[in-house]
Amino acid sequence: MTEATLRDTVLKIGENARASAVAVAVYDFEHHTTWSIHPARWFHAASTIKVPVLLAVYEAIEQGRLEPHSRVHVRNRFYGLVDGKPFRVSQGSDANADVHAALGRMLTVHTLAEHMIVTSSNLATNLLLDLVGIEAARASLARLHLSGIELQRGVEDEVAWAAGINNRVTAAGLCNAMRLIEEGRAISPEASRAMLDILHQQRFRSGIPAGLPEDARVAHKTGEISTVAHDAGIVYLDGRDAYVVVILTEWAPEVDGRQETIARISRAVYEYMTGNRA
């Protein structure tokens, strides 16, 4: 498959699925090459913003401001970016009930980081973002020279959302973040390994992994709300070096088939990278 064929294939997959927009960014460690479609287009980040939060948490650990075993009081009260009023993370809309079940108790930074990534807990995310501080988190991204990622607020801040203040990402920005982690250059080699271990535990596997052979290994983070569905990951295949693939998609709220579309795009990228066709 040529680059032109891959581009046509990906665009056709998106068109047939009635996606409003599709962006893809790929980096191949085997040949040190890149490939992309609309890599600089901004999308609502949904839960992919949790990767930048993870980076900020591990920089705080590297700097000695936190320890993985530091204990955090689990509460469900946060303050809105726009109005300063308190808001809560809805248990019904959170992907993980375990952190809500720990309200009033203590969980470690490492446990919260796992919940944030592995089962995409919004409550764990806001607790960690409050702990690190949003300005410090932005400074971490700046020190890593990660453009294409805008971390504006915690999750489920509905007043900020209504005001148009949202976390945003580009395919290129997330691709560069995942590259740094795989290369061991995200904060430090030790921090990169720790983050990679968490990303390997991801439980939502109907996107990128679903388009790959069963023996493929993927360290990744998904994200989905009513208008977007994303997956950003590092793919490990036997017999070759890894590659990073980021797939961002935008949708009308009533359109289905989002995860299947990401899986099909993942398959097309796999076939391009390996020359294998099922």
pLDDT of residue 95: 75
Query: Taking the model in full, what pTM does it have?
Result: 0.95
Vertex 153: Cα angle to 262 and 203 (nearest 5): 35
Q: Region 188-211: what's the mean pLDDT?
A: 96
Containing structural domain, residue 209: 1-41+170-278
Q: What pLDDT sits at residue 1?
A: 77
- Judge if 175 and 86 occupy the same domain: no
One domain, residues 163 and 61: yes
* pLDDT score, position 277: 62
pLDDT at 55: 98
Asked if 49 and 17 sit in the same domain, the reply is no
Which of 129, 149, 168 represents a domain boundary (last residue)? 168
Mean pLDDT, the chain, whole residue set: 95
The Cα–Cα gap between 207 and 199 comes to 14
Burial of 139-172, coded b for 16+ CB within 10 Å and e otherwise, reads ebbeebebebbbbbbbbbbeebbeeebbbbbbbb
How are strands ordered across the β-sheet holding 168-169? 43-44, 168-169, 149-150
pLDDT-based confidence at 4, cuts 50/70/90?
confident
Does residue 204 carry a pLDDT above 70? yes
Q: Are residues 154 and 234 in the same domain?
A: no
**What are 128-184's pLDDT values in tens digits?**
999 999 999 999 999 999 999 999 999 999 999 999 999 999 999 999 999 999 999
Is 60 exceeded by the pLDDT of residue 278?
no
Give the alpha-carbon dihedral of 121, 125, 128, 131, to 10 degrees. -130
State residue 113's pLDDT score.
97
Q: What DSSP state is assigned to residue 212? A: S
Q: Is the pLDDT of residue 229 over 90?
A: yes
